[in-house]
Amino acid sequence: MEIFVEVARLRSFSAAGRRLGLTRAMVSKHIMQLETKLDARLLHRSTREVSLTDAGHAYLAPCLATVEQAREAARAISPAGAELAGALRIQAPSGFGSAWLADAVARFSLRHPLLTPSLFVDDALLDPIRHGFDLTIRVGGIPDSSGLAMRRLAPCRGVLCASPDYVARWGMPQTPEALLAHQCLHFSYLTDGTSWHFTRGSERRTVRVNAGFTANNGLVLQQAAERGLGIVYNTTFLAWQKLIDGALLPVLPDWELPLNDLSALYPASRQLSPKVRALVDFLVAEYRVAPWDLALARAGIL
């Protein structure tokens, strides 16, 4: 099962063998023995890559849980006892990962020096199980996967921002519809495309903006907005300091954008790994009162 997990993560018999200290032939032999025992084909093989079959996808989540439980059991009787130890693979959006999570993971690691965390930041919606992450931080709810569990960390508020220079040149829009006359900076991973949704009390408005600049990274868009390129659809956890400093101005502050959550996703199992549970508990305590929104409230912004 451990060999299968590594092959599924790395999409390669050779890479899994190098990770485990086995030859490619031995890895292949163990996988074939496992498939024979299960009477199911778990992997598609080709000369270029290895991919999971439907049965392989279904088998991977419980395998991950079983392998991790076996490792935790071994650590429980090691000289280190119950001390948290070992690898901890974490994935997060680039903006949140660099602005907030990196510092939190570093402080958590100081408490648990036997841990070896690795943080992967990317705004793409990567499959945590397929890519072998112990913990994924994501904006929004849980995807359609029975292999994942979710815990809410903090509210995630959207905010439109523009630089003072842009506003001086093009004016401040007063209604959502006025955005049609403006240059808008668009985050390409928004699920509704270029349709921006607004709420004010019982009013609901939807505007399909003209995306003059598009990127798949929130930090890139924020930097473009600071340069005066246009109005950016941002998040308060990313924009808070720029708003307080005046480098960015809130646009349409009386209108609310859809509210999401920052969520922690991890492989669902009967027994959650102690190191993952400890990190999630730590992050929940860190972000229960979102420090970025608290700072904005204290500054009288938004």
CATH number at residue 14: 1.10.10.10
Token pair recorded at residue 119: 């943080």
For residue 269, what pLDDT is reported?
64
- Same domain, yes or no: 146 and 271: yes
* CATH of residue 220: 3.40.190.290
Q: Which of 79, 103, 131 corresponds to the end of one domain?
A: 79
- Same domain, yes or no: 184 and 246: yes
Domain assignment present for 302: no
- Same domain, yes or no: 122 and 190: no
Domain that holds residue 249: 158-258
* CATH of residue 276: 3.40.190.10
- Same domain, yes or no: 228 and 100: no
Residue ranges in the chain modelled with pLDDT below 70: 71-72, 74-82, 141-146, 269-271
- Same domain, yes or no: 174 and 240: yes
Domain assignment present for 112: yes
For residue 11, what pLDDT is reported?
85
Domain assignment present for 210: yes
In this structure, the chain runs to a length of: 302
- Same domain, yes or no: 264 and 151: yes
For residue 77, what pLDDT is reported?
60
Domain assignment present for 237: yes
- Same domain, yes or no: 144 and 277: yes
For residue 264, what pLDDT is reported?
92
- Residues 157-214: pLDDT tens digits? 999 999 999 999 999 999 999 999 999 998 888 777 789 999 999 999 999 998 889 9
Q: Which of 79, 107, 140 corresponds to the end of one domain?
A: 79
Which class for 10: exposed (0-12), middle (13-18), buried (19 or more C-beta within 10 A)?
A: middle
State how far the Cα of 175 lies from the Cα of 44, in Å rounded to an integer: 53
Domain assignment present for 249: yes
- Same domain, yes or no: 249 and 172: yes
217 close to 275: Cβ distance less than 8 angstroms: no
- Same domain, yes or no: 121 and 244: no
Total domains present in the chain: 3
Residue 266 phi, psi (nearest 5):
-155, 155
DSSP 8-state class, residue 243: H
